[in-house]
Amino acid sequence: MAGRRHHRFPRGETCDDCPARRWYIENGHKFCENGHQVEGYVQFDIDVDDNFGKSGKVIRKKKETKKGEVKQLSGKKAKELYMMCQQVILRKQIAWLISEKGISNELDGVCRDLWDFRTCKFIGLTMVGNKVGDRKGKANATKQGSQSQPDSGSERPLHSSQGEEAQSSSDGEALGRTKLQSKIKSWASEKWEMPRMVDLLALLYLGCLLIQEPVRIGDIYRWAMNNQLPFIGAIKIIPKEIRERLPPWAHKSLHTRYFKFEGTKLHNAVKILMLGYRKNYGLIFPAIPDPPLLLRYIKDLAIPPEVYVYAQKLWSLLGFRLSFPTSKPKNSPLDSDRISKYPLLDVPDVLLVVAIVVATKSMFPFDGIERQPLSIDDPLTLKMNWDIWEAEFADTIDDKLPNHLIFENMDPQRIWTMSDEEKNEYLDWYQETQLDDEETLRERETDIDRLFPLQPISRPAKTAAKVGDEDEKTILARLQRVLKATEFVPPLETNRSDGNGPQSVKVKTLGDDYPHYRTVEELKGTAKQFYQVAAKLSGLSLNDLVVTVISFEMKLLSWQRAEELRIQKSTQGPIPSAQ
């Protein structure tokens, strides 16, 4: 029998039955050197050599690390972060215009310069250094349109700024001269007025104007409302880590889902921003490129090209020009900030569409009254078939507001009467605008969320394109069909001989019984549909277009009366009225 291997008891311990100080193990039990069994000891796994003498692993429960709440910024730091968020959105918007709409790459550099001039005087902006400081002097752009070129050797930071929570309530209304003048503030004052989200769209339009791209304010407005151009819910573009540090007012502004964007709000923003550049830097913007814009309106409205020359003559007769301001105030310098009596007519883009509407009403009346041409050069020799025109535009006018405007202020009782299609639209809108992004929802996912996961947002089937959204092929095909339906009217000989001598024939001619529509309620039939199409293309509300057109017509009537008096004085005799 092999010798036993003895071990010593711990210091101060002995066997319970004898003074033995050593012990050994036999058959899994512990005995002292004299053979007494030590109670309370049993050896396990004595046959498994790998586990002999080893103790089990100690597994401690890990404490859950509490994720600290992200601290929201405030003061100037919050404004700087908000401005960086607007910078990201602006870059996305510029990239979309260049890639999707074929705008020149120069737009990126021009918008950089415009944004630098707009934000470089913010005293709390630490990111803007000496790069921009050297360019604080006046920048002049000639009437022909001196263009800002991107600086290829340096990278300039872009910044935007505060939300529109405190000043957006009154912007939707048409601004009078006094109210608009009060909004043209110095960008160097201590109370630096930060740009709003709508100013991003206004800056994009001014950038297109500087590089002479034929883009209308209505195009920018429509792309933003359709959410093709990143604007509605633009906060989702911003990374989550940055969003969490934004204050509540910045969240509200960047969401833009509470933004009542209608009527002339963008036109007023363009005008105020343009006046701001003039007041702070002496920057004079060039005239809009009227030839391509006129052609675009003629194609989109499907009207004869003869309107082109007639519309040009109208604004020339009244002394208007297609640069801001459109009219030069009396006894004031050309670059004066004074606003005219008709504020919307100060916007060249609005003046252009108004002249087209008035020219079309004169040359191709909607009222059905027979007017006879007096010569082969008379515009009335061409007669439009307005029934064909109405049929072409019957499915393109959509008076329905976008979902974000319908559902935002909807009565809860209305939900019970919704159709299945409307319910799906409402749930899609709620998922897209009211819920958090997918990443945040995954982090907060619960068992019930896993049982009922959110479905992808269903996109409606592609329907007939609305006004301004059609492709070039569709627009040209429609124009061709309308022009084919026009008729030639031979000129009427006002003096004829019936054998008894010449006899004068009294007929209604160009300008007789010209209709004036002062309110939307007065528009009927073809006239209303034509005004609606023109309003959609220009980005104006129907009421604003009616008011602006009647203002232009009153100025035209005043010019006509002044001409009659001038001719009467020169001939020293009365002349018959043209109306």
Q: CB under 8 Å to 235, separation ≥6 — which residues?
A: 85, 243, 251, 254, 255, 256
CA–CA separation, 90 vs 108, rounded Å?
A: 10
Report CA torsion sign: 65, 66, 71, 72.
positive
Is residue 164 within 8 Å of residue 122, measured between CB atoms?
Answer: no
pLDDT band with cut points at 50, 70 and 90 for residue 340: low
The per-residue pLDDT for 137 is 42
- Exposure b/e, 184-204, CB count within 10 A at least 16 = b: beebeeeebbbbbbbbbbbbb
Nearest alpha-carbon partner for 168 in 202, 122, 199, 207: 199
Is residue 281 within 8 Å of residue 138, measured between CB atoms?
Answer: yes
- Out of 146-150, 191-195, 468-472, 473-477, which region has the weakest mean confidence (pLDDT)? 146-150
The H-or-E segment that residue 376 falls in is: none
**What is the tens place of the pLDDT at every residue in 72-107?**
788 888 888 888 899 899 999 999 999 999 999 999
Is residue 31 within 8 Å of residue 37, measured between CB atoms?
Answer: yes
**What is the tens place of the pLDDT at every residue in 180-237?**
455 566 676 556 677 889 999 999 999 999 999 999 999 999 999 887 898 887 888 8
The per-residue pLDDT for 567 is 85
The per-residue pLDDT for 339 is 47
**What is the tens place of the pLDDT at every residue in 397-447?**
655 555 555 666 677 777 788 888 777 877 777 776 666 666 666 666 676
CA–CA separation, 20 vs 34, rounded Å?
A: 7
Mean pLDDT of the chain: 76
Paired with 23 in beta bridges are 7, 32
For residue 303, pLDDT beyond 90? yes
Q: Tokens 């004829």 map to which residue?
A: 496
For residue 52, pLDDT beyond 60? no
The per-residue pLDDT for 465 is 52
Strand, helix or coil at 484? helix
- Out of 47-61, 194-208, 221-235, 538-552, which region has the weakest mean confidence (pLDDT)? 47-61
Predicted model pTM: 0.72
**Pairwise pLDDT comparison (133 vs 170), residue with the higher score:** 133
